[in-house]
Amino acid sequence: MAIQLKLKKGESVERGLKRLKKILDKEGLLKTLRDQRYFEKPCVKARKKSARARIRNRSRRRAEMF
């Protein structure tokens, strides 16, 4: 899938880049590229995933308290 971005009349290049970054972020391409930059062992991936889940659960529990 190719992503094409045409600048609108009178639109600056910086604004066009901002729109492109927003599109790439929405598609999730930048995140996958960053994740695939270096090889990560499956056990390390699982550890990071469970750590993120713990943090998420902890913040949810704190929000319920207040």
Residue 63, pLDDT score: 85
Q: Which two tokens stand for residue 53?
A: 């889940």
- The count of structural domains within the chain is 1
Q: Say which DSSP state 37 is in.
A: S
Residue 61 domain-assigned? Answer: yes
* CB neighbour list of residue 58: distance below 8 Å, 6 or more residues apart: none
Q: What is the pLDDT of residues 8-61, one digit of tens each?
A: 999 999 999 999 999 999 999 888 988 899 999 999 999 999 999 999 999 999
Residue 2 domain-assigned? Answer: no
Higher-confidence position of 56 and 65: 56
Residue 21, pLDDT score: 92
Query: For the chain, how big is the Rg over CA atoms in Å?
Result: 19
Residue 39 domain-assigned? Answer: yes
Residue 5 domain-assigned? Answer: no
Q: Is the pLDDT of residue 1 over 80?
A: no
Q: How confident is the model at residue 2 (pLDDT cuts 50, 70, 90)?
A: confident
Q: What is the DSSP string of 11-60?
A: --HHHHHHHHHHHHHHHTHHHHHHHTSS---HHHHHHHHHHHHHHHHHHH
Domain that holds residue 43: 13-65
